[in-house]
C-alpha cells in the first residue's frame, strides 16, 4: 500500500504541463538506437515476441521497454557487448507483458553491479488500471509460454520491492533536453492498432482495454523528430501528430519500433504510409508487431527505399548520422 501511495504521489507532482505550444525545443546532436528484443535475429541474440531498445542520446542512455521473457534483454545485451548496468532509466510504453516481462530480472541482476541500475521507470497514466484477460485471446498463447504472461501489477510490486521507483506521466514530460516522453497519446484519428487481449474493470463493469496509457519517446534532432514506439497502440499517425505538437511543428525524420500494423487492410496501411510521407518520414524500422508485409506496403506508400524501410532484428541500429544499419536479412 505504501509503495502504491508513493507512485500516486509522484504522478501528482507531474500535473504541471511541460510542453508549451510554440516554444522552441532543444535539439540533440547525437543519437543511437539499438534493438534488444524483437522476433527476428541474425548472428547475435535470440528472438522473441516482444520489444526493447537502448537509446543513447547525447550524454544520456535509457532503456525503452524490457521484452517479454525475463532473460531475453539481459542475454541479448550481453551478446551485443552492451552494459545495461550503467543505465538508470527505463521507459515502459504500456502494460503488456511482452514489454514489461524483463524489468524485474534486469533490476535484480544489474543492481548488484550498480545500485542505480534501472532504478527509475517512467510509465503512462492508466498502466495500473485493473484488468481481466480475455480468455479467447489467452487461449492463442501456447501453454508453455503462458508462464511469462505476467500481470503488470505484480511486476510493479516486485520492481518496487527491489528499490525501483515508478514515475507516472499523464502528459508530456521532457526527460532530457530535446527528449520527450509523450505520456498518454490523444487519438485524433480512428486508428485501432490493438488486439482485444483484456478488459478494464470500472465500477464493476468490464470495458474494452484500449491501452489508454500507451506512450512513446520523441527525440528532437537537427534532421527532424525521431519517434520510438513500443507497439503504437494509440496509432502511429496519432503518435506522430502528438510528437509535432510537443516538440514543434517539425518533420518526422524517423519512426522506429513496434507499430502493430500486422492486421491492417491494405487500404489502412496505404493511408498510414501516405501520412508518414506527408510528415516527412525518411527512415522506418518496423520491429515486433509491425508486420513484415506491412513494412513492405509502407515502403511504397511512404515513398521509402529498400535501405530506408526495413524489418527490425535483434541488434538493428539507427544513428542520426548513418540512418539504419542494414543486417544481412535486409540487404
pLDDT tens digits, residue range 65-113? 999 999 999 999 999 999 999 999 999 999 999 999 999 999 999 999 9
Task: Give the range among 95-104, 145-154, 222-231 with minimum mean pLDDT.
Answer: 145-154
Local confidence band at 22 (pLDDT 50, 70, 90 cut-offs):
very low
Q: Domain range spanning residue 241?
A: 2-10+26-321
Residue 198: the pLDDT is 86
Q: Could you identify the residue written with the cell 505550444?
A: 21
- 64: which DSSP letter? E
Residue 314, beta-bridge partner list: none
Q: Contact, 322 vs 297, CB < 8 A?
A: no
Q: What is the CATH number of the domain that holds 72?
A: 3.60.15.10
The radius of gyration computed from the CA coordinates of the chain, to the nearest angstrom, equals 18
Size of the chain, expressed as the number of residues it contains: 331
* Grid cell in block for residue 197: 487481449
Q: pTM of the full predicted structure?
A: 0.92
Alpha carbons 212 and 17: distance in angstroms, whole number? 19
Q: Which residues contact 285 (CB under 8 A, 6 or more apart)?
A: 35, 254, 255, 256, 257, 310, 311, 312, 316, 318, 324
331 falls within a domain: no
Residue 20 lies in a domain: no
The predicted model gives 187-194 an average pLDDT of 93
| Contact call for residues 218 and 226 (beta carbons, < 8 A) | yes
Domain assignment present for residue 218? The answer is: yes
Among candidates 226, 215, 28, which has minimal Cα distance to 121? 215
Residues 122-137 have pLDDT tens digits of: 999 999 999 988 777 6
Residue 326: inside a domain, yes or no?
Answer: no
Q: Which segment of 19-23, 40-44, 80-84, 112-116 scores lowest on mean pLDDT? A: 19-23
Domain count, the chain: 1
Nearest to 66 by CA among 107, 19, 10: 107
In a domain, residue 254? The reply is yes
DSSP state of 202: E
Q: Is the pLDDT of residue 218 over 60?
A: yes
**Is 17 part of a structural domain of the chain?**
no
Amino acid at each position: 500500500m505504501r509503495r502504491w501511495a508513493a507512485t500516486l504521489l509522484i504522478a501528482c507532482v507531474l500535473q504541471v504541463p511541460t510542453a508549451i505550444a510554440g516554444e522552441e525545443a532543444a535539439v540533440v546532436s547525437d543519437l543511437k538506437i539499438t534493438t534488444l528484443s524483437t522476433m527476428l535475429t541474425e548472428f547475435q541474440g535470440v528472438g522473441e515476441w516482444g520489444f526493447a531498445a537502448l537509446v543513447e542520446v547525447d550524454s544520456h542512455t535509457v532503456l525503452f521497454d524490457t521484452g517479454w521473457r525475463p532473460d531475453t534483454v539481459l542475454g541479448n545485451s550481453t551478446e551485443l557487448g552492451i552494459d545495461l548496468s550503467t543505465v538508470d532509466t527505463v521507459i515502459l510504453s504500456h502494460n503488456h507483458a511482452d514489454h514489461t516481462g524483463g524489468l524485474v530480472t534486469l533490476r535484480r541482476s544489474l543492481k548488484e553491479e550498480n545500485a542505480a541500475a534501472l532504478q527509475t521507470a517512467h510509465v503512462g497514466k492508466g498502466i495500473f488500471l485493473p484488468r481481466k484477460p480475455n480468455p479467447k485471446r489467452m487461449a492463442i498463447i501456447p501453454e508453455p509460454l503462458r508462464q511469462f504472461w505476467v500481470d503488470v501489477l505484480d511486476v510493479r510490486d516486485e520492481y518496487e520491492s527491489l528499490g525501483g521507483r515508478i514515475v507516472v506521466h499523464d502528459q508530456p514530460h521532457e526527460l532530457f533536453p530535446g527528449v520527450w516522453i509523450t505520456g498518454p497519446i490523444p487519438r485524433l484519428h480512428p486508428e485501432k492498432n490493438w488486439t482485444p487481449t483484456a478488459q478494464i474493470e470500472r465500477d464493476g463493469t468490464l470495458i474494452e482495454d484500449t491501452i489508454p496509457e500507451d506512450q512513446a519517446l520523441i527525440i528532437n534532432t537537427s534532421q527532424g523528430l525521431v519517434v520510438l514506439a513500443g507497439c503504437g497502440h494509440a496509432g502511429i499517425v496519432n503518435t506522430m501528430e502528438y510528437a509535432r505538437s510537443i516538440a514543434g511543428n517539425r518533420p518526422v525524420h524517423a519512426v522506429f519500433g513496434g507499430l502493430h500494423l500486422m492486421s491492417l487492410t491494405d487500404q489502412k496501411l496505404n493511408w498510414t504510409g501516405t501520412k508518414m510521407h506527408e510528415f516527412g518520414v525518411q527512415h522506418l524500422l518496423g520491429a515486433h508487431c509491425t508486420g513484415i508485409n506491412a513494412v513492405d506496403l509502407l515502403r511504397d506508400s511512404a515513398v521509402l527505399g529498400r535501405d530506408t524501410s526495413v524489418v527490425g532484428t535483434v541488434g538493428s541500429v539507427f544513428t542520426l548520422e548513418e540512418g539504419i544499419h542494414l543486417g544481412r536479412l535486409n540487404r
